[in-house]
Amino acid sequence: MSTDRLSVTFQALADPTRRAILARLALGESSVSELAEPFDISGPAISRHLKVLEQAGLLTRTRRATARLSHLEAEPLREVTTWLARYQRFWDESHERLDELLAALQGKPADNDGS
Amino acid sequence: MAKTQITAEPGIPQIIMTCEFDAPRDLVYRAYTEPELLQQWLGPREYTMTVKENDVRDGGKWRFVHSDGGGHEHGFHGVFHGNPSPEGIVRTFEYEGAPGHVSLETLTLTERAGKTLVRTVSSFQAVEDRDAMIASGMERGVHDSDERLTELLARLQAG
């Protein structure tokens, strides 16, 4: 099992229930019962998912009165998007150049929308 | 014009990329296979790309080197599988900075109304290989972007 942070984040995200939990938390902090509501799975199963997300640093939990509230932590997600953005930029720029080259080869002005 | 769509699913060792070009398929194929054309577009503008080898046939080897002009070089190589044609190219891909981590690239070129859609599926041996390849081979300055975070969250919600 890889322990680098990006791998841990990806492993935590590699489950549709956990992604749905994060999407719900993006709207605001929630209790375990609120998070469990849309799913046809047991409370302990939800708690296991929350634990995986907590260990990946994707959420933090606080106690208010009798409820345990979960909050989304965006930083690991930012690392994932930075990683994707790097790959995206490499290919965006290559394909932009290919576009220009193909236009030149066809004797057309480059169809440049300025982006 | 060129809008690159990249999909990298969490937990699946694949990257799927699509991009459409305003050119007939034969021309796009030439741009992907002829060294003097490849060198004009593949990679970031501030890098010089040199095609060291590009034997476009079943079992033929390819090797590209990107140099930043300051003594940093990134080499990539692999082998073509099956006879490459304007319909598609199948090849292995290995970043020389991470030897042994080989991926398989399948490119499919489809022409429609004079435009060509290029779809590339890169399959890695493991999710960690995919992540490592990008982290080490494509190093560039990237600005954190809340917009991309918003997009990711929207995708998480949709998925």
Structure confidence by residue, pLDDT tens digits, A45-56: 899 999 999 999
Residue B26 within a domain: yes
Residue B33 within a domain: yes
Q: What is the extent of the structural domain holding B132?
A: 5-141
The secondary structure of residue B124, as a DSSP letter, is -
Which pLDDT score, from 0 to 100, does residue B129 have?
79
Q: What is the mean pLDDT of residues A26-40?
A: 86
Q: Which of B6, B28, B30 sits opposite A84 (nearest CB)?
A: B6
Q: What is the extent of the structural domain holding A26?
A: 5-73
| 3-class secondary structure, A111 | coil
- Chain A contact probe: residue of B111, B115, B118, B138 with most A CBs at under 10 A: B138
**pLDDT higher than threshold 80 for residue B16:** yes
The structural domain count of chain B equals 1
CATH number of the domain within which B16 lies: 3.30.530.20
Query: Can you list the alpha helix ranges (DSSP code H) found in chain B?
Result: 25-33, 35-38, 127-137, 146-158
Residue A108 within a domain: no
Q: Whole-model pTM above 0.80?
A: no
Give the span between the Cα atoms of B12 and A105, in whole angstroms: 38
- As beta bridge partners, residue B107 has B89, B120
**ipTM computed for the complex:** 0.71
| 3-class secondary structure, B23 | coil
Chain centroid offset of residue A21 CA: 11
**pLDDT higher than threshold 70 for residue B86:** yes
| 3-class secondary structure, B50 | strand
Residue B93 within a domain: yes
- Tokens in use for B5? 């769509």
| Residue A16: φ, ψ to 5° | -60, -35
CATH number of the domain within which A15 lies: 1.10.10.10
Q: Answer yes or no: do A7 and B139 touch at CB < 8 A.
A: no
Shortest CA distance to A36 belongs to which of A80, A70, A83, A79?
A70
**pLDDT higher than threshold 80 for residue A80:** no
Which pLDDT score, from 0 to 100, does residue B59 have?
98
Q: What is the mean pLDDT of residues B100-109?
A: 94
A113 or B48, greater pLDDT: B48
Which pLDDT score, from 0 to 100, does residue B2 have?
58
Residue A62 within a domain: yes
Residue A97 within a domain: no
- Tokens in use for B135? 């982290």
B-chain CB neighbours of A112 within 8 Å are: 1
Residue A29 within a domain: yes
Q: Answer yes or no: do B4 and A91 touch at CB < 8 A.
A: yes
| B26-81: pLDDT as tens digits | 999 999 999 988 988 888 778 889 999 999 999 999 999 988 888 888 899 999 99
Which pLDDT score, from 0 to 100, does residue B122 have?
92
Residue B39 within a domain: yes
